[in-house]
Structures are given as structure tokens and as C-alpha cells.
Chains A and B, each alone.
Chain A
């Protein structure tokens, strides 16, 4: 790996992590709004749906990690397949959010429950969409052989961005489905 790429890689990593830090303040602000408005209560949501979408996102994180590992191991077929699997699982997650969480009995205009539920899932879904687009770009470039097992900042950035989206859900899932008393 030559020097210029190394310097750029170091800058890119630090920059992306600083961006994660910045985004964490955004998501913390959303969580704070949830606790400020909902307090120790939550709306009644279908628990099975929550577990389903959480599991799908978790599996997608696994396939993403596997794609990156495969590239490092120079296993291009697994790399590309796992990227597509991740896209499929991410889309499934989005479908789950739209069908189960947005299609339920709560509307965005229904007081603080509606506003925060749609605010949290909406902002997260927006990040999922950005992740899917990112993966498709990386898949396309990977298909054309633009990444090597040594030089693949694009893949690495895409992977940790996707894991970051999963990380946010790790906090949003309990905040939406578990914390506080369900109100009927």
C-alpha cells in the first residue's frame, strides 16, 4: 500500500468516525425527545413485529460483515453475493417498517405517540435507505473489480456505515418496544 493511500485512509477513517459522533448527537436528540414526551410510557405496538424487523436488521449486519471479510480474504463471489443479500435484508427491514410500524393503528398526527413513533422510525429508515444506495454503489464498483483485498476504503466505509445504522436500531428498538409501560 503506498504512502498517499495510507494517509488518505487514515484521514477518511477519522472523518467518518467523527461523522458518526455527530450523527450520534442527532439520534440522542431524538431519544431525548422520546423520553421527554413519552416519559415512562409507550404506545401498544405488536411485539412480534418489533422482533421480526430487529432480527432482519441484525442478519443484514452479519451479511455485511461477511461481505467485508470475504473481500479481505479475496473471495470475490462471497463478497458480491453478501452485498446483494444485505440489500435484500435491508429492503425487507424497510418493508417491515412501512407495513408493520407505519400501517398500524397509529398515525403521525396522533399526539406525541404518533409524532415520536414516526419521527424515530422515519429518521432511521432514511439512514437505511442511504445505506442501501451506498451498498448498491459499492456492489456495482466491486463487480467491476475496483476493490482489492488491500485497498477498499469504499467497502469499509459502506460496511461500517451499515453497522452504524444497525447500532442506532439497537437503541431505538428498546426505546420503542420495551421501555416504559404500554398504554392501552
Chain B
């Protein structure tokens, strides 16, 4: 097998594995009634049904409530999405390290890639920052 064939095969393998795994998980979540963003689909506000207050102070309060609700949902979606993003980035880095090794990369280079992956895991998955916070939960 030539290097270029291996190169292509390997890239394909990782992509298929990660994508396949991802799709598999998505299907599973779907089956358990959850999208990739969890059960937190952005609710559409159906304006017809809502009685918008006309009194200025009440209107202001209504708008703030609406904003807070949207913000909460957005935060929730972002929390789920960040996990998925990290997964994609880590998978891409795994492909990258494999391909770079075929192309020819030093042991040092491979270590640097591993360190980058490690830093991402430590920061996003392991929440290292909480150790230095004054113990205030999430």
C-alpha cells in the first residue's frame, strides 16, 4: 500500500468513525426524544396568543421577562452545543495527528498536538476553572 492510499484510507476511516458515531448518537437521542441540543429547542413565541401589555411599565416588565426566557433557553442550548463542538474539534485533531504522522511529523510535534487536545479536555470537559473558584457550584 502506498503512503497516499493509506493517507486517504485513514482520513476516511476517522471521518466515517466519528461521523458515524455522531449520527448514531443523534439517532439515539432522537429515539429518546432529544435533539442534539437536548430537549431545549428554541420555542417560537406565537405572538397572536400573547396579550402584549399596553401600560408602559407593564410592557417593560413583559419585555424583560421575554428576554430572560430567551436567554435561559439560549444558555441551555449553548451548554449542550459546546459539548458537541468539543467532540468535533477533538475528532478533527485526532484525524490531524494521524494524517500528520503519515506525512511525517516529529515525536515533539505529536506531543504538541496531544497537549492541545489535553488542554481542551481539561478546560471544557473537566472545568478546571472550578478548582480556583470559591466553591460556588455552577
Interface residues of A (CB under 8 A from B): 1, 6-7, 9-10, 13-14, 17, 40, 47-48, 51-52, 54-56, 58-59, 61-66, 69-70, 72-73, 75, 77-78, 81, 85, 149-151, 156, 159-160, 163-164, 166-167, 170-171, 173-174, 178-180
Set B111, B121, B135: member contacting A6, Cβ < 8 A: B135
A72 touches B138 (CB 8 A): yes
B84 touches A150 (CB 8 A): no
A47 and B11 CA atoms in complex are apart in Å by 12
The binding surface of chain B is classed by DSSP as helix
Set A10, A75, A179: member contacting B38, Cβ < 8 A: A75
Residue B122 is within 8 A (CB to CB) of chain A in the complex? yes
A47 and B101 CA atoms in complex are apart in Å by 12
Set B29, B79, B90, B137: member contacting A58, Cβ < 8 A: B90
A-B contact count (CB 8 A): 132
Q: CB-defined interface of B16-50 with A at 8 Å, one 1/0 digit per residue?
A: 01100110010011001110001110000000000
A13 touches B84 (CB 8 A): no
The residue in chain A whose Cβ has the minimal distance to the Cβ of B138 is A72
B86 touches A65 (CB 8 A): yes
7 nearest CB pairs, A to B: A10-B135, A62-B87, A163-B125, A55-B17, A65-B83, A178-B101, A160-B126
A61 and B20 CA atoms in complex are apart in Å by 16
A174 and B137 CA atoms in complex are apart in Å by 35
Which B residues, 107 to 125, have Cβ-Cβ distances below 8 Å to chain A?
107, 110-111, 113-114, 117-118, 121-122, 124-125
A65 and B13 CA atoms in complex are apart in Å by 24
A13 touches B135 (CB 8 A): yes
Give me 16 other A-B pairs in contact (C-beta within 8 A), A58-B94, A170-B117 excluded.
A1-B137, A10-B135, A13-B131, A47-B10, A55-B14, A59-B18, A62-B25, A65-B86, A70-B38, A70-B80, A75-B39, A77-B34, A78-B32, A151-B137, A167-B118, A174-B111
A58 touches B83 (CB 8 A): no
**A63-B25, A164-B126 known; A10 vs B110 contact (CB < 8 Å):** no
A159 and B131 CA atoms in complex are apart in Å by 15
Inter-chain contacts of A149 with B (CB < 8 A):
138
Set B32, B76, B117, B131: member contacting A77, Cβ < 8 A: B32
Which B residues, 60 to 114, have Cβ-Cβ distances below 8 Å to chain A?
76, 79-80, 83-84, 86-87, 90-91, 94, 97-98, 101, 107, 110-111, 113-114
Residue B57 is within 8 A (CB to CB) of chain A in the complex? no
